[in-house]
Structure 1
């Protein structure tokens, strides 16, 4: 059962979010990849295989991994102004891995980790390169192997992290859970197909969407030892979707006066 979860759940979620992003545009794609579509299955499998106590510690560490995810978006967005997707991806991955290695050594309470994530998301948006005032979004021709490639890359990450959990422990397992595999694939393809403006628009949605992701990790960290795995993940998923929808509604309400005045 857990093998099927590793091989199917996260890859299917990545493919579904990719298709939705293509349908509704770059900002939606960025928000979708900020959902726990990969980290959620990793934490679920970790709880099932290693037990709730191990899973709670991993989820707490995953909050710190979201700081690295926010840093990834900033580094990639700035590098995309000067180099192609290969250079941008290499620089962003190096920054992410360096932060992950440092953050895996820290132990912070879940609520403190939650506050750190919100501060990191706010800071990321403050230092993000400016998005274009208006741009005609292109409809790129995606290669046939794009979606299978995303699914295979996601499955490889899930299998690698959950298999190594016994060796690396809950802290490193959790910090690696939000590693930006889905975000990397989306960002690289958007940069190659739509240029810097498309990449910046897409990646700006990631720190904006980290609130829901952080809520998910927080609830798993504080509830899984008390409610058990199935109930905790059901509650965390419902809360994440509710928070994400409410946050997008709030952002759209804030944008309406600016559009009217423009």
Structure 2
């Protein structure tokens, strides 16, 4: 059963979120990859294989891994101004791994780590480069950015979705297999490693240009509230409720939080014009 979860659950969630992003656009894609579609299955398998106490510590550390995820989005966005997707991805991964190694040494209570994540997400949104259409963009940057964006509809290569699924399965199997060796802290911070986010960002940058990549990645820190709530609930409930009940509650609450947050964001422009 756990082997099937490793090989199927997270890859299917990544493929589903990718298809939804193609259907509804870059902001939705960024928000969806900010959900625990990879970290959730990793934590689930970890709890099943290593026990609730190990899983609680891993979930608490996964909150700190979200700090690295937010940093990844900002670094990739800025690097995309000067390099292609290979260079941007290389630099962003190095920064993420360095942060993960440092954050794995911290042992913060779950609620303190939750506060750190929300603060980091708020700061990350303000650290993105400007894009046309945003309040911080000037007419000059709008013209230059628009000229650098590829025109036409995105062309999705046949191996895109299988590649995302294979990369996701490889991460889940690697992290969960090494969990007993590396310990709960490292398992936790690696759980949100931006595999799905990396693939989405690289494809959007190559096909839609820098502005499309920035708009997509801005959805990640906006969506970290639901991700953080998920990790927090697993950390504080797993030893009390057990694995099935905890993950049922965590998934349900996370979806409600994410839908509510999305609704407030879509309502804000309408209220501003009233």
Please report the TM-score for the alignment, with normalisation by the length of structure 1: 0.97
Q: Distance in 1 between matches of 2:18 and 2:105?
A: 33
SS at match of 1:178: coil
Q: Does 1:70 align with 2:84?
A: no
Q: Gaps (5+ residues) in structure 2?
A: 135-145
SS at match of 2:156: coil
CA displacement, residues 27-56 of structure 1 (integer Å, 9 cap, x when unaligned): 000000000000000000000000000000
Matches within 5 A, 1:17-166: 17-133=17-133, 138-166=152-180
Q: Does 1:235 align with 2:244?
A: no
The one of 214, 217, 225 equivalent to 1:200 is: 214
Please report the TM-score for the alignment, with normalisation by the length of structure 2: 0.93
Structure 1 match to 2:141: none
Runs of 4+ in 1 over 6 A off after TM superposition: 134-137
Structure 2 match to 1:179: 193
How many residues are matched?
A: 260
Q: Distance in 1 between matches of 2:269 and 2:202?
A: 28
Deviation of 1:257 after TM superposition, in Å, equals 4.2
SS at match of 2:240: helix
Q: Does 1:168 align with 2:190?
A: no
Deviation of 1:131 after TM superposition, in Å, equals 2.4
Q: Distance in 2 between matches of 1:201 and 1:47?
A: 35
Q: Distance in 1 between matches of 2:201 and 2:152?
A: 15
Q: Does 1:212 align with 2:226?
A: yes
Q: Distance in 2 between matches of 1:138 and 1:125?
A: 28
Deviation of 1:138 after TM superposition, in Å, equals 4.8
Q: Distance in 2 between matches of 1:139 and 1:212?
A: 31
Deviation of 1:254 after TM superposition, in Å, equals 1.5
Deviation of 1:252 after TM superposition, in Å, equals 1.1
Q: Distance in 1 between matches of 2:41 and 2:57?
A: 16
Q: Distance in 1 between matches of 2:191 and 2:30?
A: 18
Q: What is the aligned-residue RMSD (CA, Å)?
A: 1.4
Structure 1 match to 2:6: 6
Q: Distance in 1 between matches of 2:175 and 2:12?
A: 18
